[in-house]
Amino acid sequence: MSLAEKIIVVTGAAQGIGAAYARRLVEEGGTVVLADRNHEGAEATAASLGGPGKALAYPLDVADRGSCEALAAHLGGAHGRVDGLVNNAAIFSTIRMKPFWEITDDEWDRLMAVNLRGPWLLTSVLLPLLRASASASVVNIGSDAVQLGRSGYLHYVAGKGGVQGMTYSMARELGEFGIRVNTLSPGPVYTEVARETVTPAQREAMIAAQALHRAAGPDDMSGVLAFLLGDDSAYLTGQTISVNGGLVHR
């Protein structure tokens, strides 16, 4: 149980990969706060997680400063510190593919407020609690859609490119406090949630192009996340870790 005693916040943990992250971190002994805009879903997921650690749901909109501050106040009162922050919440499965010139200003702004400003905002607001930890680790969830230059959802690709760049600078600014920051960058991952950002033909073509010719599931990501949050990765910061079955190389 490498994460025993650690207080870890996972945003966007109601469903999909975030729920799998929460499950794995509880199995590793962590106390995991599932923070999602879909609070009912997060509560249901938290209730389903048995294991050595604990799972608790708390409502959060990462695009809203007041909501981030309410989470910080709760965590400060309950635990006094945060050892792990997983900035996983994003507008993703609800995206409909379209040429970039048809993306509306509102769609662009809303996505950036959640996917790019959100990780910056929540990390900033939780910083005093991260500094109170002896070994804090922040993991920003990127996407290899950036390396692939995937088409059909350019605002998403641009936002995740920003997350990757932000991680490099955050790692430098937080190194003096002993806080590590890395990007976990998944390739295509297939969850219980239907989505329209990949067609069946694209799915098969990408699996064929991978070195490992099988589709990734959420559990292919969660062990890498546990490693990045644990003390075995104590000297690893400012990196992008692609988990893509060998689809693209850096």
Ligand X SMILES: NC(=O)c1ccc[n+]([C@@H]2O[C@H](COP(=O)([O-])OP(=O)(O)OC[C@H]3O[C@@H](n4cnc5c(N)ncnc54)[C@H](O)[C@@H]3O)[C@@H](O)[C@H]2O)c1
Q: Does 209 bind ligand X (CB under 6 A)?
A: no
* Strand, helix or coil for residue 69: helix
> What SS3 state is found at 177?
helix
# chain residues binding ligand X, by CB under 6 A: 28
User: Residue 22 interacts with ligand X (CB under 6 A)?
Assistant: no
Question: Judged by CB under 6 A, does residue 60 bind ligand X?
Answer: yes
Q: Which residues pair with 35 in a beta bridge?
A: 11, 58
Asked if 188 touches ligand X (CB under 6 A), the answer is yes
Compute the distance between CA of residue 142 and CA of residue 9 in angstroms, rounded to an integer.
17
Our finding on whether 48 is near ligand X (CB under 6 A) is no
DSSP state of 181: E
Question: In which order are the strands placed within the sheet that holds 7-11?
Answer: 54-59, 31-36, 7-11, 84-87, 137-141, 180-186, 240-243
Q: Which of 7, 9, 82, 90 binds ligand X (CB under 6 A)?
A: 90
Counting contacts by CB under 6 A, is residue 37 touching ligand X?
Answer: yes
The reply to whether 93 sits near ligand X by the rule CB under 6 A is: yes
- Alpha-carbon span 169 to 119, nearest angstrom: 13
By beta-carbon proximity to ligand X, the closer residue of 30 and 142 is: 142
Binders in 107-146 for ligand X, by CB under 6 A: 114, 141, 143
* Rounded Cα distance, 236 and 153, in Å: 31
- DSSP state letter for 95: -
Q: Which of 28, 61, 83, 220 binds ligand X (CB under 6 A)?
A: 61
Q: Give yes or no for residue 191 binding ligand X (CB under 6 A).
A: yes
Our CB check for ligand X shows the closer of 198 and 236 to be 198
List 38, 133, 137, 167, residue binding ligand X (CB under 6 A)? 38
Q: Which of 156, 168, 190, 235 is catalytic?
A: 156
Residue 156 annotated to the active site: yes
Can you read off the two tokens belonging to residue 35? 């923070």
The only residue of 31, 88, 183, 233 in contact with ligand X, by rule CB under 6 A: 88
Asked whether 84 and 9 are in contact (CB, 8 A), the reply is yes
With respect to ligand X, which residue has the nearer C-beta, 135 or 164?
A: 164
> Residue 57 belongs to what H/E stretch?
strand 54-59
Measured from the CB atom, the residue of 80 and 158 that comes closer to ligand X is 158
Terminal-residue alpha carbon distance, the chain: 32
* Active site positions, annotated: 156
Q: Return residues touching ligand X (CB under 6 A).
A: 11-12, 14-18, 36-38, 60-63, 88-93, 114, 141, 143, 186, 188-189, 191, 193
